[in-house]
Amino acid sequence: MKKFKRFAFFVLCACICVGMLSGIPASAGRQKLIPGGMNFGVKFFTDGLLVVGTTDITTSAGLCSPAKENGIKVKETIISVDGKKMSTSEELARTVDQSGGKEITLTVKNTEGMERDVKVKPALSSETGKWCIGVWVRDSTAGIGTVTYINAFTGDFGGLGHGICDTDTGVIMPVGKAYVVDVNITSVDKGDARTPGELKGTFGKEVRGEIFKNTRTGVFGSLSTLPAVLREPMEVARKKEVTEGEATVLCQVNGKVGEYGIEILKVYKDSGDTKNFLIRVTDPALLEATGGIVQGMSGSPIIQNGRLIGAVTHVLVNDHTKGYGIFIENMLETAQK
């Protein structure tokens, strides 16, 4: 069995590829949130083991792939083996090998969240001398993102504006445990015509909070320690209030959060829960520092007319000055479900 490196690094960001906003009475006024803009690091452990590939095993009788032959598919999640919960790729490999070739029962969850039991008979690898089932799994990852908002009263926060996805399958990874840690940005790589730029940095050791939800519209959790410097809370905008024209984005460049000019080029009123409007970076200082939108800026809050309207989510591959934003209303609706 091949194993993936734990904490395989990826950058949470530009994928190439009011209480309750709708429920609060009008007389109570709008919800206010602290806009973020600061970077954070994530150490993410999956709930179960995400299948990212199957492989053939070389045996004395030839090639075989027990996992694939018994219907285990890429993008599914292995929850347990013979009733024992699996948390790491090493634990799965050890459990399979200790079977001695006897049939084992894997509890597997598909992409629709439905679980089933799959009986698999491991094969003895003539290359390693170990019993294997021929599956590649991922159990963890790590990366950099940007905080969109913080609730000053609860410490709850939202960020990224899109989910943490597996780099091979594109599947939103199921949350087991996910910790927020400090990150020190050491450099900014500007993009070229083929690939976007990215923020590069190192993680701190102290845990600053946890992430409880990993969704299409962002990650949501709670901070145990608030950043030392915070802006004043501001009102959040409804979808219908977002317009084409000037706006600003908060993002961390050169060690501190700054406010930079952007233009909203197009608002897509019926765009669903992501990629709700098209933006272009216009601020010379930000263009000089990053070349536009780079990986790691996902979640950077966008402000228009003194209100928090959304966050940066994706960059356009062929023009790094442009990208997509998500309505803050969509992020909040997901966070409250």
Cα end-to-end span (Å), the chain: 39
- 25 contact partners, CB below 8 Å, separation of at least 6: none
Choose, from 80, 87, 89, 298, the residue flagged as catalytic: 298
Find residue 172's DSSP bridge partners.
165
Any catalytic annotation for residue 320?
no
Q: Are 166 and 50 in contact (CB under 8 A)?
A: yes
Any catalytic annotation for residue 99?
no
User: What's the rounded Cα separation, in Å, for the pair 55 and 134?
Assistant: 5
Any catalytic annotation for residue 162?
yes
CB atoms inside a 10 Å sphere around CB 31: 18
Choose, from 87, 162, 166, 300, the residue flagged as catalytic: 162
- 288 contact partners, CB below 8 Å, separation of at least 6: none
User: What's the rounded Cα separation, in Å, for the pair 195 and 111?
Assistant: 29
- 308 contact partners, CB below 8 Å, separation of at least 6: 33, 35, 149, 234, 235, 236, 237, 301, 302, 328
Choose, from 168, 189, 273, 283, the residue flagged as catalytic: 283
Token digits of residue 306: 């003194």
Q: Write out the catalytic residue numbers.
A: 162, 283, 298
